[in-house]
């Protein structure tokens, strides 16, 4: 018993749909441990980010907060979005553009004490650059203050 052409097309469409869904599930599974979400300090405090989970923390380096430890490679600083602050520790060489009152994105994880331990620091490339999420958050903060 041969299938009619209409039924054959329906079966092929269902097989194609199943293949697309399967590929999407495989891609999501592969990215599950590799994806790093971006948080501002306010988002991190509000969402209670899971400790030990790889995330990105973006904001501005608070003025006067950079502290270099005697070992010469460890620095502590504070990331702020003008609403909340997060203390950050980084061990390594920071980019040349890393400085106070400039934009920064730190990759790492939160610790149980609330400190963020960064494994990588990305500094801004232009004095007018600010991560879009931070710019939006700072705009909201300024609007609420008025």
Mean pLDDT confidence for 50-77? 91
Q: Check residue 86 and give its pLDDT.
A: 94
- According to DSSP, the residues that pair with 91 across neighbouring strands are 74
Q: Check residue 22 and give its pLDDT.
A: 96
Q: Check residue 131 and give its pLDDT.
A: 67
Is 39 annotated as belonging to a binding site?
Answer: no
User: Phi and psi for 19 in degrees, rounded to 5?
Assistant: -65, -40
Residue 90 has pLDDT above 80, yes or no: yes
Q: Is 116:57 a contact under the CB 8 Å cutoff?
A: yes
Residue 107 has pLDDT above 90, yes or no: yes
Q: Is 36:54 a contact under the CB 8 Å cutoff?
A: yes
Q: Check residue 72 and give its pLDDT.
A: 87
For the chain, which domains are there?
A: 36-123 (2.40.50.140)
Residue 65 has pLDDT above 80, yes or no: yes
pLDDT, mean over the chain = 85
Is 139 annotated as belonging to a binding site?
Answer: no
Q: What is the pLDDT of residues 33-44, one digit of tens each?
A: 666 788 999 988
């Amino acid at each position: 018993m041969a299938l009619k052409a209409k039924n054959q097309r329906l079966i092929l469409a269902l097989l194609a749909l199943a293949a697309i869904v399967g590929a999407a599930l495989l891609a999501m599974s592969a990215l599950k441990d590799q994806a790093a979400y971006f948080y501002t300090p306010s988002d991190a405090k509000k969402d209670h980010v899971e400790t030990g989970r790889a995330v990105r923390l973006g904001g501005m380096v608070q003025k006067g907060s950079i502290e270099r430890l005697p070992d010469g490679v460890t620095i502590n600083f504070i990331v702020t979005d003008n609403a909340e602050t997060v203390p950050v520790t980084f061990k390594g060489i920071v980019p040349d553009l890393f400085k106070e009152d400039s934009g920064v994105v730190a990759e790492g994880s939160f610790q149980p004490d609330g400190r963020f331990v960064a494994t990588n620091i990305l500094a801004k490339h232009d004095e007018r650059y600010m991560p879009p999420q931070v710019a939006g958050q700072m705009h909201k903060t300024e609007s609420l203050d008025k």
